[in-house]
Chain A
Amino acid sequence: MNKSLVKVSMPVLDPLIRNQNFMEVEQGYTPYDAVLEANRCLECKHMPCVNACPVEINIPGFIHEIKEKNFDKAYQIITNDSMLPAVCGRVCPQESQCESVCVRSIKGESVGIGRLERFVADYHYEQEHSTCDFDIHKNDMKVAIVGSGPAGLSCACELLKRGYDVTIYEALHAPGGVLTYGIPAFRLPKSIVSKEINNLIEHGVVLKTNTVIGKTLYLEDLFEDGFKAIFIATGAGLPQFLNIEGETLNGVYSANEFLTRVNLMKAYEKDQATPIYKDEIVSVVGGGNVAMDAARSALRLGAKQVHIIYRRSIDELPARKAEIEHALEEGIIFDMLTNPVEIIGDSYGFVKAMKCVKMKLGELDQSGRRRPIEIEGSEFEFKTDVVIIAVGTTPNPLISKTSPDLDINHKGCIITIDETGITSKAFVFAGGDAVTGAATVIEAMGAGKKSAVAIDQILS
């Protein structure tokens, strides 16, 4: 039993070195570290952490195996419930899920569940027997999954285990959804994502890239092709803008476009054809994880100064605390209580400055956060060369446009009757950001898994 009140620390790359490249910031545990941290776990009988996990991983179970140095057994326990442990160990907000209810956190820090999950997965992949073994009894029924992000992958995995022939359709040329185009390599190395996806393909999942459901093929085409059910996991990919003057100037990006150019198209590598507009001063508008990712990416592309512009204060930033800390360490400047009102361009149509107002915080609003109020007469202008807008995304309407019997709400989210993802259209299920609007990787995975169970029930 390790009685330390704090987690075994995880080595990180030096901020002033890492902000020059896309290498992974957090370096992960050694087996020694992992066993030491695992020994902080009390293996509580009532397992609060399991209930707080959207996919209900047997957390005390896998941690027990780490204590015994049965790392592979630990991996098998996790993959009973999640096929993306290396991804989730890195990007899940454990602090607001499993770790938030850890008994150890009553006095001191919680057990580092995320770090341990990541260790188990990384250790497994390092041993080069990258397949996980589960018996599959084929039932010769085909299910189509639309979108290869976290919700789609998790649904695919669960259906695979239950014997279905699974085909995943992906609109882009590479699978992974937000794991591939959204989250930068310094937070989630792309080799990790492809390993976990290849794992599914090796087990028989068919992946069809370059296929936009709603454009290339419609839902009806899939049913005609013999699919018995369809799970829609198309995410929330439509970027929102601020609707202020100057948003069509050159040098203004949605975070989606900026991150796609960087992560999917590798625009920072010299031999890639995809361009990206770089300059000295970059302003990122927004305060979530995506804003942090964009700001830290801009720094790595060589910006001299990167600002986060957010209308509330630092305490209300929706980004994970660890991401904010990393961004601060790397030298990102946080301009809080600031709201843009206009982007100003030069005569060639390129950004040269941004006009903002200062804000103060008022009463609590519906989101439970203090409402930002404009301070009159506080308008000011500052020089900026690039503006990246990271104020959220909404679901993509491509499928609902060609399937009028698929009901959506006013925000474009697909309406489901309960958490199994049943939609208004027979044998069509939906889950993840396409239903909830932008949320987390693990919540999407939880939805995918629940729909898989529901699909299995309806088809068997």
Chain B
Amino acid sequence: MYKIILKKALTDQITQMNVYAPDVVKHAKAGQFVILRVDESGERIPLTIADVDKNDGTITIIFQVIGKTTYLLNQKKENEYILDFVGPLGLATNIDDLQNVLVISGGVGSAIAYPLCKALFNQGTYVDLIAGYKSISQMILYNEFEAVTHHQFYTTDDGSFGKKGFVTDVLKTLLEKQTYDHVFAIGPIVMMKAVSEITKLYHIPTTVSLNPIMIDGTGMCGGCRVKIGNQMKFACVDGPDFDGHLVDYDNLLKRNQMYVEKESKDFNEVKSRGDHHE
């Protein structure tokens, strides 16, 4: 059992939890993830580690309520427990020898982009950020990003904050006048695909963070297999970071739709049962 030390609503749909898991903290690095299970009948879901506090022994997770499991997780209150919480899984993001980097995040992907920016910033890398959201009400980690990046560019779909439009609009403008050693893109699959298509034109190495369906997170089920160039890789042990120019995004999009019918049915069911579900 893993205690929720702190719970904070970042927006009406996005929640932050700090979970006491001293063993997980020990070797956790930016880019890695945990797998959790809320209760006995629950599914195992992967969530990226948003922050690590070695003193407190806590792992921060940030999640958007998008289905049954995240809904039930969001029902948990401070000082309550999550049944299973295992990690850190996957490989840490490789940030060695980078001088000048652009990090692009979309939506709740910012929760993954933040620890990356922090790690880059702390090792002295120059970091620019483009963060895109649906609207100002869905923005997260604004102050945190300001502290660990050099320039910040914001976009919203509805124009309620920053530039109206997509992160790729800002990316194109930026790349017309400057360049970067490396671009990191973390967010919806279509966004990572669009970013990678642009950076490919400029020959800028690009890393994306993939989020396929998985069970164990240790390479055992192979459910998270993704096509990278002409190779098949397991996102849980070979990733979750991959070369953005080699990822077969369309295949990943389709694979993430595999259970969509049951997922939406289950989600509607828990929502209709309301907040008192345990």
Interface residues of A (CB under 8 A from B): 171-173, 181, 209-212, 215-218, 221, 237-239, 241, 243, 247-248, 250-251, 253-254, 256-257, 260-261, 264-266, 269, 271-275, 277, 348-349, 396-398
Provide 8 A-B residue pairs closer than 8 Å at the C-beta atoms, listed in order of the A residue: A172-B216, A241-B232, A248-B255, A250-B257, A264-B215, A273-B69, A274-B43, A396-B218
| Nearest CB in chain B to that of A275: its residue | B259
Interface string of B239-250 (1 = CB under 8 A from A): 000000000100
Residues of B within 8 A of A247 (CB): 225, 232
Partner of A212, one of B89, B254, B262: B89
Residues of B contacting A243 in the complex (Cβ-Cβ under 8 angstroms): 232
Enumerate the 8 nearest inter-chain pairs by beta-carbon distance, A residue then B residue, closest first.
Answer: A349-B254, A257-B221, A275-B259, A273-B43, A210-B86, A254-B222, A173-B84, A237-B220
Whether a CB of chain A sits under 8 angstroms from the CB of B24 is yes
Pairwise interchain contact A215-B221, C-beta atoms closer than 8 A: no
Question: Which among B87, B225, B259 is the interface contact of A216 at CB below 8 angstroms?
Answer: B87
A215 in contact with B84 given A265-B215, A273-B266, A398-B218 (CB within 8 Å): no
- Report yes or no: B222 in contact with A216, Cβ–Cβ below 8 A: no
Give Cα distance in the complex from A171 to B227, angstroms.
26
Quick check: is B83 within 8 A (CB to CB) of the other chain? yes
Do A396 and B220 contact each other (CB < 8 Å), given the known contacts A209-B84, A250-B258? Answer: yes
| Residues A238 and B87 in contact in the complex (CB < 8 Å), given A250-B254, A273-B69 | no
Select which of B24, B43, B258 is within 8 A of A265 by beta carbon.
B43
Quick one: which of B249-278 are within 8 Å of A by CB?
251, 254-255, 257-259, 262-263, 266
A257 and B222 contacting across the interface, CB-CB below 8 Å: yes
User: Quick one: which of B13-31 are within 8 Å of A by CB?
Assistant: 23-24, 26-27
Q: Any chain A CB within 8 A of the CB of B88? A: yes
Partner of B257, one of A261, A272, A349: A349
Cβ of B183 < 8 Å from any Cβ of A? no
Pick from B69, B219, B221: contact of A398, CB below 8 A: B219
With a cutoff of 8 Å between Cβ atoms, the chain A residues found around residue B85 in the complex are 210
Residues of chain A lying within 8 A (CB to CB) of residue B23:
211, 216-217
Q: Chain B: which residue is nearest A236 at the CB level?
A: B220
- Asked if B229 is at the interface (CB within 8 A of a chain A CB), the reply is no
Chain A, Cβ-Cβ closest to B39: A273
The minimal Cβ–Cβ distance linking B230 to chain A, given in whole angstroms, is 10
Q: Which residues of A lie under 8 Å from residue B41 when comparing CB positions?
A: 266, 269, 271-273
Q: Give the residue name and chain of the B residue nearest to A394 (CB).
A: B219
Known: A250-B254, A275-B263. A256 touches B220 (CB 8 A): yes
Indicate if B7 sits at the interface (CB-CB under 8 A): no
Residues of B within 8 A of A237 (CB): 218-220
B residues with a Cβ closer than 8 A to A are 23-24, 26-27, 37, 41-44, 68-69, 83-89, 215-216, 218-223, 225-227, 232, 237, 248, 251, 254-255, 257-259, 262-263, 266
Q: For the complex, what is the distance from the CA of A273 to the CA of B45, rounded to whole Å?
A: 11
Q: Chain B residues with Cβ under 8 A from A216's Cβ? A: 23-24, 26-27, 86-88
Q: Are A173 and B83 in contact (CB under 8 A)?
A: yes
14 further contact pairs, Cβ within 8 A, besides A215-B27, A250-B257: A172-B216, A173-B86, A215-B89, A239-B221, A247-B232, A248-B255, A256-B222, A260-B215, A260-B221, A266-B41, A271-B41, A349-B254, A396-B218, A398-B219
Contacts of A210 in B (CB 8 A): 84-86
Question: Which residue of chain A has the shortest Cβ distance to B212 in the bound complex?
Answer: A248
Which of B44, B68, B222, B248 touches A239 (beta carbons < 8 Å)?
Answer: B222
A442 vs chain B, min Cβ distance (A): 22
B216 contacts across to A, CB distance below 8 A: 171-172, 260
Q: Are B222 and A265 in contact (CB under 8 A)?
A: no
Interchain CB contact under 8 A, B68 and A215: no
Nearest CB in chain B: distance from A311 CB, A: 21
Q: How distant is A257 from chain B, measured CB to nearest CB, in Å?
A: 4
Cβ–Cβ contact A265 & B86, under 8 A: no
CB distance from A399 to the nearest CB of B (A): 11
A349–B88 CA distance with the chains assembled, in angstroms: 31
Known: A239-B222, A241-B222. A273 touches B68 (CB 8 A): yes
The residue on A at minimum CB distance from B253 is A349
Q: Is the CB of A248 within 8 A of B89?
A: no
Q: Are B218 and A171 in contact (CB under 8 A)?
A: yes
A413 to B41, CA, bound (A): 34
**Least Cβ–Cβ distance between A382 and chain B, in angstroms:** 22
Q: Which A residues lie within 8 Å of B223 (CB)? A: 253-254, 257
**B251 close to A349 (CB less than 8 A):** yes
**A211-B23, A248-B251, A349-B254 given; A260·B43 CB < 8 A:** no
B26, B89, B237, B259: the one within 8 Å of A221 (CB): B26
